Structures are given as structure tokens and as C-alpha cells.
């Protein structure tokens, strides 16, 4: 089963968050992730609105977990936590 990595983000420091993006842009594809939405236009119907939304498709939940647990990504997470407020989840798809 495939999986979607879904992040909802409010960036508080664009420069620092750019450092996170550089790492995520390498690590996520290395683990089979493909970005299908990345900061584009959106309409918020319910819940808390965040300024940036990202969705990546992975071949499995395990592949997404491997990307998240990659030591390079974990270092980048430290930057992201300083430069943003965010929620991140992975959900298995039905296909």
C-alpha cells in the first residue's frame, strides 16, 4: 500500500526554513517520495489554516518512516522546529 506524507506549516523564519527545504528535497526522494503538492494554492474548509501545505507520495508507510528517521532529515527537523510551526503525518492510501 502506498502512503501520503502530509505537512501543514506556518513558516516563521523563511531563511532558516529554506535550509530545511534543501535537505527535505534530497532525503524524501531518496526514500521513494514524490512531491505532489508543495506550497501551492489551497482552500481551507475546516480546522486550523496553515500557510504552507506539502504532500508527498511514498511507496509505503515504511518508506515514509525511513525518510523521517533518516539522520540527515532529523537534523533538518531541528531547523524546521525553530523556523516554523507544523503538523506532519503519514497516512496509508487505499490503492
pLDDT classification of 24: cutoffs 50, 70, 90: very high
What is the structure's pLDDT at 86? 96
Cβ atoms of 93 and 3 closer than 8 Å: yes
Owner of C-alpha cell 532529523: 74
In order of start, what are the domains of the chain with their CATH numbers? Answer: 3-92 (3.30.70.100)
Task: List Cα–Cα distances, 72 to 34, 42, 50, in angstroms.
Answer: 18, 29, 25
Section 59-85 average pLDDT:
98
Residue whose grid cell is 526554513: 17
CA–CA distance, 28 with 7 (Å, rounded to integer) = 13
33-68 tens-digit pLDDT: 999 999 999 999 999 999 999 999 999 999 999 999
Amino acid at each position: 500500500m502506498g502512503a501520503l506524507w502530509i505537512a501543514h506549516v506556518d513558516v516563521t523564519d523563511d531563511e532558516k526554513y529554506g535550509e530545511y527545504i534543501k535537505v527535505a528535497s534530497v532525503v524524501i526522494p531518496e526514500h521513494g517520495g514524490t512531491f505532489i503538492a508543495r506550497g501551492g494554492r489551497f482552500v481551507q474548509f475546516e480546522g486550523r489554516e496553515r500557510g504552507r501545505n506539502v504532500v508527498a507520495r511514498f511507496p509505503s508507510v515504511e518508506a515514509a518512516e525511513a525518510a523521517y528517521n533518516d539522520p540527515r532529515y532529523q537534523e533538518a527537523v531541528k531547523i524546521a522546529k525553530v523556523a516554523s510551526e507544523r503538523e506532519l503525518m503519514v497516512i496509508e492510501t487505499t490503492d
